[in-house]
Structure 1
Amino acid sequence: MVSTFTLYEADLHCHTTASDGLLTPTELVRLVAELGLKAVAITDHDTIQGWEEAVDAGLNYQIQVLRGIELNTNWRGKEVHILGYELDGSSNYLNQKLKGLGEARVHRMLEILARLATLGIVISEDEVRQFAQGESIGRPHIAQVLLKHGFIRSIKEGFERYIGMGAPAYVPRYKLTPEEGIKLVRQAQGVAVLAHPGIQQLEEGIPDWIQVGLQGIEVWHSEHKLEDVKRYGTLAEHYDLLTTGGSDFHGEAQKPGVQVGRWGVSLDVVEQILSRAKQNRWNLDREC
């Protein structure tokens, strides 16, 4: 696959079939290698299920794989996404929290299906699970079933007509607070980064989130405008935070035009994250 754009060395925000991406972890890492990138972070929603396969593929394709996650949280009625990097996957606390979030996702899916049924659209839980190849079930999987049966012509239409906020089958999701999400990452020895703050204009919350352990801001993102890059880059510098970046890749059908590596960072940032994660582990060990 040949890109017409200059690509970064590392894309630190990518999704796989472990949540709502269209490529398996192996397929994603292979694509990263084909494009000539050097590193990628697997940041699936509320799950770490794709890590092992991605790391194995990284060894095969000589790609550095960061073990990440994206946690969806709520702040003042706004969606706030917290990225975590290099967490300890053996953490009992982390795994128990993720199990609870997974159960909440299933409950939400069933409520959405019930609301769709009242609109004359009957689809089964089993069909949704077939699209949700991983343990993290979400609305995009429901939209894929709607598309398969011809109820909609695109994933975007599915959200706008049926399952997006304000649509007739929309069901709010159980969410952590940003503080809870940051603390979860930090207690699992990871590096906590605020994802794509320009989408919701979240600068007001940053000082408080730093107090509970936020260590970086995602400055480069597929939905950030130039003014967002400048604003959040300046804020990161002011607060001495890491500046990260990534495409938020899901696959062409999920996010048209969002290509791996078109948004991202240099390998220097990867090294900074790894160094900060090592320091986090040292600090936690010292506290114990």
Structure 2
Amino acid sequence: MDSAIDLYDVDLHCHTTASDGLLSPTEVIRSAAALGLKGIGITDHDTIQGWQEAEIAGRNYQIKLVRGIELNTDWKGREVHILGYELDGSSDYLNRQLKGLRKAREQRMLEILDRFNHLGVQITFQEVQQFALGESIGRPHIAQVLLERGYVSSIKEAFERFIGRGAPAYVPLYKLTPEEGIGLIREAHGVAVLAHPGVRRLEDGIPAWIDVGLQGIEVSHSEHNHEDEQRYRTLAKEYNLLMTGGSDFHGEARKPGVKIGYWGVDEEVILQIFDLAQRN
């Protein structure tokens, strides 16, 4: 695909202000519709808060919505992201578990801010909350405070100097295992998909995750090169897994150069997701 000219029909991996994206669900969907996309996936971290607004916007802009979520999990010291699509948002179990994950995020924020205090950088939780417009708080919101206060000149610098892995204010996030994340999605009748496996070369874990309910692999992604796409396309065919794709859009200031629709799938993949979810 020549991304300067052609866009995909559907972008299945977009973040909004419900977690760490810069655009509201309505703004993401309006942007996708303006580009001529036929479908969009809203996949915020640890929250389904943006779904209701996204559903209204999807109807208004006549674009198919795939309701999703992204869970951060840990496997052998490596971060593994699991996408869930078309879960039952009314599931008490799902909502209890997500609430617990968001509480863990808040606790992490307090520990990071305590580390900043020891570094002589005074940041309050209230300042961070001003940038967290949704219920799922994360390190990008701290990065935004550092940028606004003039401690750094970019979000990237904030991670490299202060809050990225190995940096002085870094605190690891409590994470589920991939098996727990997949189980949570499947328990809520959703479709479980391994996100951007090429970022950390996760193919060794795929067979075991299939055994516990993994149903798809994100093949097209902004951090995958052509070889990654080919590798995971081949693996998906070998294991008869759904092939998904998306930009991982957060907004230009948060992920420069990552634009809606430049990575994704054909419209028929939405029907495959809906079909799998119905059978789950």
TM over 0.5: yes
Distance in 1 of aligned mates of 2:5 and 2:67: 26
Q: For 1:182-221, list aligned pairs within 5 A.
A: 182-221=182-221
The answer to whether structure 1 residue 13 and structure 2 residue 16 are counterparts is: no
Aligned to 2:167: 167
Post-superposition CA distance 1:56-114 (Å, at most 9, x none): 00000001111100000000000000000000000000000000001000000011011
- Which residue is 2:55 aligned to? 55
Q: Which residue of 2 aligns with 1:222?
A: 222
Cα distance per residue 1:29-57 (max 9 Å; x no partner): 00001111010010000100000000100
Please state whether the residue corresponding to 1:44 is helix, strand or coil.
strand
Which residue in 2 is equivalent to 1:72? 72
Counterpart CA distance in 1 for 2:215 and 2:5 is 30
Match of 2:118 in 1: 118
Instruction: Report the AA paired with residue 160 of structure 1.
Output: E
Deviation at 1:6, TM superposition (A): 1.0
- Residue type matched to 1:165 in 2? R
Which residue of structure 1 lines up, in the alignment, with residue 240 of structure 2? 240
Match for residue 140 of structure 2?
140
Aligned equivalent of 2:46: 46
What are the superposed Cα offsets for residues 137-181 of structure 1, whole Å, 9 maximum, x if unpaired? 000000000000000000000000000000000000000000000
Equivalent position SS for 1:43: strand
Report the counterpart of residue 274 of structure 1 in structure 2: 274
| Contact map agreement 1:221 1:263 (CA 8 A) in 2 | yes
**How many angstroms apart in 1 are the aligned matches of 2:64 and 2:104?**
32
- Whether the 8 Å contact between 1:5 and 1:262 is mirrored in structure 2 is no
The whole-number CA distance in structure 2 between the counterparts of 1:222 and 1:95 is 30
Separation of aligned partners in 2, 1:93 and 1:200: 30
Distance in 2, matches of 1:58 and 1:4, equals 25
User: What's the offset of the Cα at 1:119?
Assistant: 1.1
State the 1:4 CA deviation: 3.4
Distance in 2 (CA, whole Å) between partners of 1:268 and 1:133 is: 33
Structure 2: gaps (5+ residues): none
Offset at residue 118 of structure 1 (A):
1.1
Cα deviation, residue 117, structure 1: 1.2
CA distance in structure 2 between the aligned counterparts of 1:85 and 1:236, rounded to whole angstroms:
17
Q: Distance in 1 between matches of 2:163 and 2:116?
A: 9
Three-state SS of the structure 2 residue aligned to 1:260 is coil
Partner of 2:96: 96
Q: 8 Å contact 1:78–1:200 — kept in the other structure?
A: yes
Counterpart of 2:130? 130
What is the distance in 2 between the residues matched to 1:144 and 1:27? 20
- Report the alpha carbon displacement of residue 5 of structure 1 after superposing the two structures with TM: 3.2
**Aligned partners of 2:103, 2:4: CA distance in 1, in Å?**
42
Q: Distance in 2 between matches of 1:107 and 1:212?
A: 30
Structure 1 unaligned regions, length at least 5: 281-288
Aligned residues: CA RMSD: 0.7
Q: TM-score, normalised by structure 1?
A: 0.96
Secondary structure of residue in 1 paired with 2:44: coil
Per-residue CA deviations over 1:254-280 (Å, capped at 9, x if unaligned) read 000000000000001111001110111
CA distance in 2, matches of 1:5, 1:169: 42
Over the matched positions of the two proteins, sequence identity in percent amounts to 69
Aligned residue pairs total: 278
Partner of 1:284: none
Scaled by the length of structure 2, the TM-score of the pair is: 0.98
Q: Secondary structure at the match of 1:41?
A: strand
